[in-house]
Amino acid sequence: MTEKEKMIAGLLFDAYDQELIEARNDARQLVIDFNRTNENEKDERHKILKKLLGSMGNNVLFEPTIRFDYGFNTSIGDHSFFNFNSVILDVAPVTIGNNVLVGPNVSILTPLHPMVAEERNFRKSSDGTLQLIEYARPITIGNNVWIAGDVTINAGVTIGDHVVIGSGSVVTKDIPSGVFAAGVPCQVIREITDADRLLEE
């Protein structure tokens, strides 16, 4: 297996593999291009996102600035909005559903590093090049989710449908559908019910 194949499969891989370095460089150049656009360049932003992301539905909007590790590992459904300063470290697949609202300063982080220091530190391979061993776990966010500002979503987490994540939360475990969850670590506070409706049907 290549290091890229290991990465996507969730195995230990060398992040300093040349193919992966080039893929990150490509993604980061697209990110730089996106972040340099102005408010009159919506079409250009859309073109850059189409090049960057693995897949993107209709009416997906990101406010600058954005940060991605690879881009190709991120899939986003229809009608989703990302406020300022989104960070998506998509070493493993990141799957985001339809009608997802993401507040400012939200971090979606799939990478993991070994707990034992000598395993996670830089090392030299037999040919003298540097290696950095890591692994990653996918993150899935369902449909009709609102993630408030300053939330961190950690590797391996699945967030269900119709969920609200309160601001400043650190999501370390799966969140079921239909709930409001918040805190550090993020926990289910209560179900979302018809009593929460603000508009008359």
The pLDDT tens digits for 8-34 are: 999 999 999 999 999 999 999 999 999
- How far apart, in whole angstroms, are the C-alpha atoms of residue 124 and residue 129? 5
CA distance 172 to 41: 37
Q: Stretch 182-195: mean pLDDT, rounded?
A: 97
Q: Any idea which residue has 């220091």 for tokens?
A: 117
Contact indicator for 60, 66 with CB cutoff of 8 Å: no
* Residues annotated as catalytic (active site), given as ranges: 113
- Asked whether residue 153 carries a pLDDT value surpassing 80, the answer given is yes
Can you give the pLDDT at residue 125? Answer: 84
Provide the pLDDT confidence category of residue 200 given band limits of 50, 70 and 90. confident
* pLDDT value of position 61: 97
**pLDDT higher than threshold 80 for residue 142:** yes
Q: Is the pLDDT of residue 97 over 80?
A: yes
Instruction: Give kind and range of the element (H or E) at residue 92.
Output: none
Mean pLDDT (whole number) for 48-68: 98
pLDDT on residue 179: 98
pLDDT at 38: 96
- Identify the pLDDT of residue 28: 97
Per-residue pLDDT averaged across 112-122, rounded? 95
Mean pLDDT of 167-173: 98
Confidence tier at 158 by pLDDT (50, 70, 90): very high
Average pLDDT over residues 136-155: 98
Cα separation, 52 vs 82, in Å, equals 15
Q: What is the pLDDT of residue 126?
A: 85
Share the mean pLDDT of the chain.
97
Q: Mean of the pLDDT values across residues 153-157?
A: 98
